[in-house]
Chains A and B, each alone.
Chain A
Amino acid sequence: DAGVIQSPRHEVTEMGQEVTLRCKPISGHNSLFWYRQTMMRGLELLIYFNNNVPIDDSGMPEDRFSAKMPNASFSTLKIQPSEPRDSAVYFCASSFPPDRDSSIGETQYFGPGTRLLVL
């Protein structure tokens, strides 16, 4: 299995530009999570989906952020317009349904992250 795939791995953009981050979860996983990592705030949840449906987006900073999961194999996180304070590493993680195997259903598998720098 290729693991969780994220693209791009690095993104440098100018303030005001639109940024789209992409994530392909592990096949068969039905939950997908977007986390953001910064020096000041550490790792924090932005939004998560179960069976392609957004469950909790309370971590999304503001209306400039939006996320979609049009199908089980793809999700996007969009920032429009971007600001310097959005600079961070954005991680996508996915997990199996909990009733599939109780020993692994709780484990979230993380992608390598997208390092975003907004100038």
Chain B
Amino acid sequence: AQSVTQLGSHVSVSEGALVLLRCNYSSSVPPYLFWYVQYPNQGLQLLLKYTSAATLVKGINGFEAEFKKSETSFHLTKPSAHMSDAAEYFCAVSLPSGNTPLVFGKGTRLSVIA
């Protein structure tokens, strides 16, 4: 079985500060890992994904994440927060093959303070 734990249901940062959203996973097989963002009253949009290639993955809007097998982590970072980054962020895991369901974490709400 696979599972995802996102530490911190709510993270607040100042505009221009580092964004760090934490994600730890559990999987009996090498996983695929994803970060999705959800803006209010919208669907989920893929930020980035890890599919067993490079461990440091760069995504849209300046976000990146690093897969660390030894720590079973896939934390999301952005060097400088922007007001438009305020949203809900979800980490997800799936089996290492296409077309299989995602297992999501509970989500982290990011607030950006001016």
Contact = CB atoms under 8 A, between A and B. Distances in A.
Nearest to B107: A42
A44 B106 CA distance: 10
Interface in A93-108: 93, 95-99, 102-103, 105-108
Contacts of A109: 46
Contacts of B49: 106-107
A18 B98 CA distance: 34
A45 B98 contact: no
B27 to A, nearest CB: 14
B90 A106 contact: no
Given A42-B107, A106-B32, A31 B45 contact: no
Contacts of B107: 42-43
B99 A102 contact: no
B42 A30 contact: no
A33 B43 CA distance: 13
Contacts of A99: 98
A73 interface: no
Contacts of A56: 101
Q: Which 10 A-B pairs have the closest CB atoms?
A: A98-B98, A105-B98, A110-B43, A31-B99, A43-B104, A110-B44, A45-B101, A112-B43, A42-B106, A106-B98
Interface of A: 4, 30-31, 33, 35, 42-45, 48, 50, 56, 91, 93, 95-99, 102-103, 105-113, 115
Given A99-B98, A106-B98, 18 more contacts: A42-B104, A42-B106, A42-B107, A43-B104, A50-B99, A91-B44, A93-B44, A97-B99, A98-B97, A106-B32, A106-B34, A106-B49, A107-B49, A108-B46, A108-B102, A110-B45, A112-B41, A112-B43
